Chains A and B, each alone.
Chain A
């Protein structure tokens, strides 16, 4: 088999894992192709972010450096909008609530469907992926009346989490389904049940820890979705971080603070990603 592969001109993807048998010229050409592609795309992805970071450090005169915009994050107060800090706070709280509710809604239901009500699994998948096909802006049009009703009780922007859970559903569902698919749920639960565990124990202490990576991925996706959400908050007239940045940019074009806040939010997301992938990997190594 290896001898046959060595005749290959273009290596098929899997062949790359044993490059020794590959034609040298072909291999070099592929290597060049890969590095060119990685460099070009890397620049395309990186440059806008670097530009934003650089602009956030721009001084009063073009080309100078200053940390003013970063210091402003804590104190910025635009005209006619609530303080920047309060909207950051709201957004973080929303992210936490949405993550908790999404997991609490999805994880037990998915395990339960997998174990006891298999015939509902197609329906559940369909419903979970449905929000991908219903644009957020359409959802807002329909939600208007519902939220008007809720607003009678004059509740805070935190009420947005009800919809955010729906937005996060497809992403969280897929991440969790991948995690659930990788373990033998039935055997685990039968073993636990035969040892006298309650269904609660089965879910919380037996199955959930085994799908840690899936849960972490779901959390990360939900988290980044809520941090960047704009459409629904904007149209339901709530002030989250994105809406706040948008309002500031309209009142004060090119205000340094919007770039420093954006950069900070992005750095935050990347750090979180690193932490989560690290946490997931060490866990998996130990288990």
Chain B
């Protein structure tokens, strides 16, 4: 009888129930989209910010010390170097999968037309095969996506070519195709780049060429690393100060979370004499943007939930007032308050559930539209959103039903049956 009454009520009140379902669809779809984007946005924002370069730099510990203490960097500051052999070990750390791109750098000076100029040896583009058999393409080109290049990028084995920063090129009237001499070796200028930073007055070449020119075989000054990271929290900040201050449980949590400090710590474990440091601006931008984006999504979810609850509240109350005679009759026939409330809640919950299911799938669609529009890729569907949305839906419907429930419990059969 209970279900028969519910089904017939749903059919009879289909326009009102459709309105309730529609309200739920709007609320749930928005919440689903926002939460999926919120949970998937971390990687997306990180990938977006990756275009602004590396977020971790690895240097020799002595060089890092000079930089930290005196702000001194580059060739001549010290004669300690990292080893090129260690570079691929980056992919062997616990968070190796989060290391997207990397490139070793060897900085030095060479004579060009009798004047010292800065040179940088690197992997412009590098196809590497890891000990695990995994293959990947990396190099500086992937880390400097914003460079404007006239001519072409250096290839992996362009040992007789260089690229030159646009400031240095204009000062020396060098064009693409020009020949330049560095320490008595002649190179062809393959490209002129605009970095917008301190690379613009330097000459870029392949790492073997620089090592040969500087007579530093197998040595590198630093490694630039782009890694997907999780925004810092109190634990990460505490660990960044000193990982030894963490309790064993905290250490495990920190180590197994992709905080930039945890990744730096793990990099230091595999790079001999290396000190890994986050590039502050990029790391902080990631954290700030992620936190603000998350907050925005949470706010939108909360507001849409409140909006849905208010709309549901109005619709249910209107429906119950319209049916007050029928519900009063049920009381007169011997129904307890809880039985009437259960009946009305069951109707609303079934309607809400139907709206919720439709809203969930629409929300996934909205999330993909947002993903495509903003990030140019699909947003991964987080299963936990189903549970969160179900809980939100339950409470929104329940809270929205409170005014109607109060009206129902206060409803006296005599008032509606005798018109008193």
The answer to whether A and B interact is: no
Q: Which residues of B contact A (CB under 8 A)?
A: none
